[in-house]
Amino acid sequence: MNTAELLVQCLENEGVEYIFGVPGEENLAVLQALKKSSIQFITTRHEQGAAFMADVYGRLTGKAGVCLSTLGPGATNLMTGVADANLDRAPLVAITGQVGTDRMHIESHQYLDLVAMFSPVTKWNAQIVRPSITPEIVRKAFKLAQTEKPGAVHIDLPENIADMPVEGAPLRRDGREKSFASFQSIQQASVAISQATNPLILVGNGAIRAEASDALIQFATELNIPVVNTFMGKGVLPYTHPLALWTFGLQQRDFISCGIERADLIIAVGYDLVEYSPKKWNPEGDLPILHINSTPAEIDSSYIPRTEVVGDIADSLEEILKRVNREGRPDPINVKLRDEIRADYQRYADDYGFPVKPQKLIYDLRQVLGPEDILISDVGAHKMWIARNYHCDRPNTCLISNGFASMGIAIPGGIAAKLVHPARKVVAATGDGGFMMNCQELETALRLGTAFVTIIFNDGGYGLIEWKQHNHYGESNFVHFTNPDFVKFAESMGLKGYRVESTEDLMPTLKEALEQDVPAVIDCPVDYRENLLFSQQTRDLTCSI
């Protein structure tokens, strides 16, 4: 047995189902070992796509997704998706090929110090310098990747080490025991909530990772406290719940800004500062904050909790709930916000202007997709509208990258989502800019038989940047481009291609595309004049209640 074969045995021991990657000269031994493995190697068209697939796999399953590249340019291509997983708190293990250890001390073709390069974008990384340490490195990699806060790790395997003979076996996987908050912090939290007049729950992605949705629903319902979620916390509380105030995190004022300003206690549950900086919503640092999470609060002058409840989130909520007394307290003022928020959302239901307004496009998407179906958003102007207007019944049914926020994630993410949940409908929502960054992976989707729909918000430019340029300077520069015929592009790859010619056609087109047994692409012209109209409305917003 050589080191590459032992590495693959260790990956099997960790329960790895898929490895996403691109073959290369320096990972030949690993590829040969995988030929005899139960692990399915998925050949992608670009290493960035491979890393994004592993990223979304990790986010949906809680198990580390694995991606593989060769050295040099293969590794640098992999790096964006690895960084995305790390800041989005998705467990991921990246494996790179490397030159032999006998070539590292001299100038060498394609050689880069990958351990140094990946260090800033991972929780931990290491090079396998002796065959015998392979089981320890693999076990540590998966343990760290999957432990809160989860993220990316990196293993570098020199090609001469990969071929060396070795004796060994995978290490036993140790269980992850829950930790529980202290009695003192539970008591302090209970008193703070009992005394608050207008509390507001801010829930983030950590509550999804902790599977604390049921506990949070019970907590909010019994205490009658409204809930707002971050971009990455969608679905912890069903959007139809009477206490749901939907999404928080736009870098502009919105209805929920009024709710934050009026709150006398922010109960942050599973909230991570990378999701939305507290300097945006608590610039003076004067809002009282209760931090409930599996890890202590990060240090930030705008996020200094009065109390930290650190331990299993669901258990903490259940224990606090037993001790809170809110008898005689009036309904929180913020509950009244829900009517304004819902009225604004509903006003686009029958808007048939063309090109399609982003609010209408997202409204129709919500009507077509079921509660368990999955929407994956790329990054761009459409992401802001999806964050604001697409609402969820269940956790992990709308995936938005908002830690690293990298363009190009939607199509690779759609492949991973369909592999994890083959029976669910999956839609990848992307701008025309993001589409062109990883559209080659649609061939991968076709080859794998992962039939999902990609809908392109087509505006012929980098819409989010144009939006910000207009807000800052009153004009835009360098953001426009031309596009191919996306329908012909799809058809040339053996996919189904559609173009929305009128807003009335949007919902029938979505329904037809979702019934196809091959990937489908929908080209939808979008009216991004709504961006600046929204900015004007937020500037004029007054908190009337």
pLDDT in tens, 213-269: 999 999 999 999 999 999 999 999 999 999 999 998 887 778 888 888 889 999 999
> Per DSSP, what are the bridge partners of residue 40?
18
Return left, alpha or beta for 428; rule: phi > 0 is left, psi -120 to 50 is alpha, else beta. Answer: beta
Domain ranges of the chain: 3-163, 183-327, 347-537
Q: Which CATH architecture has domain 347-537?
A: 3-Layer(aba) Sandwich (3.40)
Residue type, 54: A
Q: Residue 542 pLDDT > 80, yes or no?
A: no
Q: pLDDT tens for residues 98-157?
A: 988 877 777 777 778 999 999 999 999 999 999 999 999 999 999 999 999 999 999 999
Greater model confidence, 539 or 120: 120
- In this structure, the chain runs to a length of 545
Tell me 248's DSSP state: -
Q: Which CATH architecture has domain 183-327?
A: 3-Layer(aba) Sandwich (3.40)
Residue type, 517: D
Q: pLDDT tens for residues 297-319?
A: 999 999 999 999 999 999 999 99
Cα dihedral sign, 31-162-416-386: negative
Q: Which residue has the tokens 């609402």?
A: 391
Q: Do the domains at 3-163 and 347-537 have one common CATH topology?
A: yes
Q: Residue 339 pLDDT > 90, yes or no?
A: no
Greater model confidence, 381 or 534: 381
Confidence at residue 33, expressed as pLDDT on a 0 to 100 scale: 97
- Under 8 Å between Cβ of 258 and 545: yes
Cα separation values, 518 from 50, 52, 451, 486, 495, Å? 20, 21, 5, 16, 6
Strand order from edge to edge, sheet including 244-247: 244-247, 227-229, 199-203, 265-269, 289-293, 307-310
pTM: 0.95
Q: pLDDT tens for residues 53-89?
A: 999 999 999 999 999 999 999 999 999 999 999 999 9
Q: pLDDT tens for residues 159-215?
A: 999 999 999 999 999 877 789 999 999 999 999 999 999 999 999 999 999 999 999
- H/E stretch holding 292 reads strand 289-293
The two tokens of residue 275 are: 């999701």
The two tokens of residue 309 are: 């409840």
Q: What is the dihedral of CA 273, 275, 277, 278, to 10 degrees?
A: -60
Pairwise CA distance, residues 438 & 409, whole Å: 8
Pairwise CA distance, residues 446 & 307, whole Å: 51
- pLDDT class of 545 with cuts at 50, 70, 90: low
Tell me 120's DSSP state: G
> Per DSSP, what are the bridge partners of residue 426?
374
Pairwise CA distance, residues 385 & 457, whole Å: 11
Q: Give the count of beta carbons closer than 10 Å to the beta carbon of residue 55.
A: 33
Q: Residue 540 pLDDT > 90, yes or no?
A: no
- pLDDT class of 535 with cuts at 50, 70, 90: confident
Confidence at residue 544, expressed as pLDDT on a 0 to 100 scale: 62
CB within 8 Å of 484: residues ≥ 6 apart: none
Pairwise CA distance, residues 478 & 465, whole Å: 10
Give helix 358-368 / helix 381-389 axis angle, nearest 10°. Answer: 50
- Under 8 Å between Cβ of 153 and 139: no
CB within 8 Å of 533: residues ≥ 6 apart: none
Greater model confidence, 534 or 481: 481
Instruction: Give me the chain's average pLDDT, please.
Output: 94
The two tokens of residue 486 are: 């996306």
pLDDT-wise least confident of 5-14, 246-255, 281-290, 351-360: 246-255
CATH assignment, 3-163 = 3.40.50.970
